[in-house]
Chains A and B, each alone.
Chain A
């Protein structure tokens, strides 16, 4: 027995983290859905969910309960076994990928030395969940959706991978935590060094998570719900969870690789140390807003609930502020790191939402053309450009900013050329029979 305890001792903290992630993730995903609906409503001149709890704050929980209680339908000619397995695969892939991500300097399940490769590999397994689910449903719409999505994921994985390679060249390591430390050490987020790589990854990650304007696998006006058409109830919820987990994963990858992970803006400039107050002040502001809204709620319970939310926010603010006043046991790096990390991830996801409600949807051939004719060449050129910049800097002693400016401009020129030829190609296609 003692041996067993000794054996597990070093794994205790990671296990705890894993438990926290598995327990909290569905909740976070639910609230991301709520935020998405609220953002959508705001952009579309509506209010969004308002009924369950004040300002719809309990909507995710109500949704979850509804989904759990729904009848579980399995189509008659479905391959039951695979129909069962597919959503689980999707969720597992998403959650496993989270295990190698550093949410803060202290909060990471495992700092693998092949961290990035692991995450990319594991999240690519999410394809199976989609493809097998679409196939097992035994429906034309599902199968078409599944085939589309697998083709899409495979195509855009290349571009995303190339964009990440650019950042890898700069960091010189695959370990996620070390990549952030390199950015801290160099005093610059990689998005400023390799902006094209960042935007390539942004586009590719939208495509990889099947979000609009690349949401063809689940294009509701064409394929009803794509691979999820035949799913209902809890299994459907699992697919949804997987989708939002994947969003969090790609957001985290982008944050780590390009946006400085858990670092606050300008971590090395002491003149800007007032940024350390931002987390606490921000949470206090949210608490204040809740208190301000509380008396305007129609029902007493809702008033109390909003006050409770305000209290929670204030508590978080207090915890975030504590290290600044020298309270022991609360490490500033860990707490603020987590805050900044999540803030960046959610900003990234906000961009996803913003794009979703602004743009129409691509057609499948256009999507493929964008991926293969534009993104992949640009990302390959970008990798070479970064390599050239590094050589110029290290071997020829160019100033860093000059080297990267030159290569970025060069890559932009190539991108512009590609876009121009693509447009010509497109107009030529229209004339003939596409």
Chain B
């Protein structure tokens, strides 16, 4: 019961704020709704008993990436952007194609319901944090290191990009 309430609340919140993200004129508003969407997703993670991911989502996504976004939004001038046309010329076509894609995917999900509609089972996923740690540092050691290299490269890239003209 509680499970359902939590899920549908967060799902509704996520979809609603996602729609607002792509439709708002003011970028800051969009960013705020993106934060809401991300928090709602974090709630869904929690409802799925992925506590560690929940924490990572909040610390990294909300506390890190979104701060970066807002920082940049404030650095680039907004006033001009507010009065420009917000949607490009291919909007209608893009909408049609995307909805077609969504319909296909939805149909796929619907057809596969025999497998997919099975309720999520409470698997041996506890204690979550410890398990994630063990798996990450035992089975996925190499990807982990590669990810750290990726981050390093991204960091250097960002620094070079954002640096002033040399």
Contacts and interface: CB of A to CB of B under 8 A. Distances in A.
A154 B67 contact: yes
A395 to B, nearest CB: 18
A128 B74 contact: no
B58 A112 contact: no
A124 B63 CA distance: 6
Nearest to B42: A121
Nearest to B52: A114
A132 B70 CA distance: 8
Contact of A143 (B35, B51, B74): B74
A151 to B, nearest CB: 8
B102 interface: no
Contacts of B95: none
Contact of A125 (B28, B63, B128, B129): B63
**Looking at chain B's contact residues, is the secondary structure mostly helix, strand, loop, or mixed?**
helix
Interface of A: 7, 79, 81-82, 85, 112-114, 117-118, 120-122, 124-125, 127-128, 131-132, 135, 143, 146-147, 150-151, 154, 157, 174
Contact of A117 (B29, B52, B66): B52
Given A82-B32, A124-B62, A125-B62, 15 more contacts: A85-B32, A114-B54, A121-B55, A121-B58, A122-B58, A124-B58, A124-B63, A127-B63, A128-B32, A131-B71, A132-B28, A135-B28, A135-B70, A147-B74, A151-B71
Give the 10 A-B CB pairs with smallest separation, nearest first. A124-B63, A117-B55, A121-B58, A121-B59, A114-B51, A114-B55, A121-B55, A131-B70, A127-B67, A135-B74
Interface residues of B, number: 25
A121 B2 CA distance: 24
A121 B28 contact: no
B119 to A, nearest CB: 20
Interface string B50-77: 0110111011001110110011001000
Given A117-B55, A124-B63, A125-B62, A150 B28 contact: no
Determine chain A's interface SS by DSSP, over half rule: helix
Contacts of B52: 114, 117
Contacts of A125: 58, 62-63
A85 B32 CA distance: 10
A7 B2 contact: yes
A147 B51 contact: no
20 contacts: A7-B2, A112-B51, A114-B51, A114-B128, A121-B59, A121-B62, A124-B63, A125-B62, A127-B67, A128-B35, A128-B66, A131-B74, A132-B28, A132-B70, A135-B70, A143-B74, A147-B71, A150-B70, A150-B71, A151-B71
Interface string B95-113: 0000000000000000000
Nearest to A151: B71
B159 interface: no
B157 interface: no
A81 B63 CA distance: 21
Contacts of B74: 131, 135, 143, 146-147
Nearest to B54: A114
Contacts of A120: 59
B59 A113 contact: no
A86 to B, nearest CB: 10
Contacts of A7: 1-2
Interface in B3-59: 26, 28-29, 32, 35, 51-52, 54-56, 58-59
A79 B1 contact: no
B28 A82 contact: yes
Contact of A128 (B59, B64, B70, B127): B70
Contacts of A143: 74
Nearest to A3: B1
B70 to A, nearest CB: 5
